[in-house]
Amino acid sequence: MPTPRRLARIAGLLYLIMGVCGAFAEIVRVTVYRPGDAATTAANVAAHAGLVRASVVADLVAVPTGLFTAMALYLLLKHVHANAARAMVALLGIAAAMMTLNLAHQYQALLVSDAAYTGAFAGPGSDALVLLMLDLHHSGYLMTQVFFGLWLLPMGYLVYRSGMIPRVIGVLLVVGCLGYLVDTFARFAAPELGAALSPYAVTPPAVAEVSMMLWLLVRGVNVPQPDRPAARAAAVNP
């Protein structure tokens, strides 16, 4: 069993890999996807097909890496509250399953130009099909964000109670959970308002997760030390 500091740095490294892969995939999606503009979206996908394919692969790396991160954090924090630690892993597991299935829509957008599709959906019809695939992926990604948000809630609680990581990071994680939820529900309930709120709603979770990742990777965790005078007294008077 690794020491707590080594386990924390393993979790931080895995968190970093997940974050870098996820950020790359998101940058590619923002580059090619133009909601409501089928012709531009289809042209972007065709022009950047290699990047779109690479973004799918990056997300396929990020998903299991995220699960390994949750498992490492479970081992690190389960002593604080076992059920909360299990909930943390379970919620991210649900998000991972949803995200993996949803990636099929993004990948399928690459294949619409194949002869099997162009024969039936030529010209504007083919472009519309590309946009439909990416619309489905976008909606599915927002739905998955519910569970990406919820896994931060037990993590924040465990961090706050553990004494191994600064409590402020635990508070940031809980606020980050609320930010993800506000972003998702606002986007579906009131799309125009949600789009306006989104940059503000997703900032707290980004700050929280980057703070958690950097602390684990750079500082590790504070391991409580036994009281030395008490330990010496116990040694003298067993």
Phi-psi bin for 33: left (phi > 0), alpha (psi -120 to 50), beta?
beta
Amino acid at 37: D
Q: What domain count does the chain have?
A: 1
Is residue 233 domain-resident? no
150 occurs within a structural domain: yes
Alpha helix segments (H runs only) across the chain: 4-32, 38-47, 49-77, 82-111, 115-118, 124-150, 152-162, 167-189, 191-201, 203-214, 228-236
Q: How many CA atoms lie within 13 A of 16 on its CB side?
A: 11
Residue 130 lies in a domain: yes
Q: Is residue 47 part of a domain?
A: yes
Tell me if 173 sits within 8 A of 158, measured CB to CB: no
Q: Quote the pLDDT of residue 112.
A: 79
Q: Tell me whether residue 231 is in a domain.
A: no
Residue whose entry in the numeric block shows the structure tokens 């509250």: 81
Give dist(CA 123, CA 153) in Å, integer: 47
38 within a domain of the structure (yes/no): yes
Sequential pLDDT tens for the chain (238 residues): 678 889 999 999 999 999 999 999 999 999 999 998 988 998 899 899 999 999 999 999 999 999 999 999 999 999 999 999 999 999 999 999 999 999 999 999 888 765 556 555 566 678 888 899 999 999 999 999 999 999 999 999 999 999 899 999 999 999 999 999 999 999 999 999 999 999 999 999 999 999 999 999 998 887 765 544 444 444 444 4
What distance separates the 2 farthest-apart alpha carbons in the chain?
Answer: 88
Domain of 148 in residue numbering reads as 4-222
Q: Could you tell me the two tokens for 201?
A: 């709603």
DSSP 113: T
Say if 26 falls within a structural domain: yes
Q: Is residue 227 included in any domain, yes or no?
A: no
